[in-house]
């Protein structure tokens, strides 16, 4: 069973799959505590907030309500609502708090491609085909450390930056927890701040990394 906060179809706005039609599954629960998080309503996993999957799908505004569902129920929901996207993004909250292998197996057998977006602070339990995006969260209030095994598993490392100290911290992480040589590294300016964007662009050009600009926020879509 998975605690689902949101399910919706949109355009992926970040990272390698920017521009791809995508189905987002947002899971409830995250103890990492990023100060700039724009989904803080997913942090607490309270029993009194449990509702039906219908109520979750029909949400008109962000809230902490969630529904407990099986992989088969999620697949059935996709079919009932006539979603056309075949790329599924599992996010949160912190999706790696949960064993995602059963969900991945069901959706992959039905022809979907999976991606997860994780802070890298919990063991990643996914299918081998799942595209893993690690967005390392360093020195956050929750006190969780980025795991070397998560960095090694990452297909893509998407790091949020606002100032030079974030680049310095990221360099230290890359030295202590080296990713796979095939991993794609991207910098993502925090909150579209001009100085952060300029910094990220400069470093990406210097190091031949990628820039992730959170396209969905510029387009004002979910």
Which residues carry a binding-site annotation for Mg(2+)? 39
Angle between helical axes of 71-80 and 101-109 (0-180°, round to 10): 40
Cis bond upstream, residue 168 (ω within 30): no
Residue pair 131/107 in contact (Cβ under 8 Å)? The answer is no
Could you list the residues known to form a binding site for substrate, using ranges.
11-13, 26, 91
Could you list the residues known to form a binding site for S-adenosyl-L-methionine, using ranges.
36-38, 93, 135-137
**How far is it, in rounded angstroms, from Cα 189 to Cα 197?**
5
Could you list the residues known to form a binding site for [4Fe-4S] cluster, using ranges.
30, 34, 37
Could you list the residues known to form a binding site, using ranges.
11-13, 26, 30, 34, 36-39, 91, 93, 135-137
99: CB partners within 8 A, 6+ apart: 125
């Amino acid at each position: 069973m998975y605690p689902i906060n949101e399910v919706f179809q949109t355009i992926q706005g970040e990272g390698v799959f920017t521009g791809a039609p995508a189905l987002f599954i947002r899971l409830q629960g995250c103890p990492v505590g990023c100060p700039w998080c724009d989904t803080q309503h997913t942090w607490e996993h309270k029993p009194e907030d449990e509702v039906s999957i219908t109520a979750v799908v029909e949400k008109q505004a962000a809230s902490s309500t969630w529904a407990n569902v099986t992989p088969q129920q999620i697949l059935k929901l996709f079919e009932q609502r006539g979603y056309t996207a075949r790329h599924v993004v599992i996010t949160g909250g912190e999706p790696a708090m949960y064993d995602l292998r059963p969900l991945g197996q069901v959706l992959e057998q039905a022809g979907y491609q999976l991606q997860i977006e994780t802070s890298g602070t919990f063991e990643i339990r996914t299918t081998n085909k799942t595209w893993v995006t690690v967005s390392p969260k360093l020195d956050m209030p929750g006190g969780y450390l980025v795991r070397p095994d998560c960095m090694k598993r990452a297909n893509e490392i998407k790091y949020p930056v606002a100032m030079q100290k974030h680049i310095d911290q990221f360099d230290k992480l890359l030295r202590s927890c080296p990713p796979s040589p095939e991993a794609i590294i991207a910098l993502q300016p925090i909150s579209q701040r001009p100085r952060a964007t300029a910094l990220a662009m400069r470093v990406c050009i210097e190091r031949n990394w990628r820039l992730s600009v959170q396209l969905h926020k510029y387009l004002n879509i979910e």
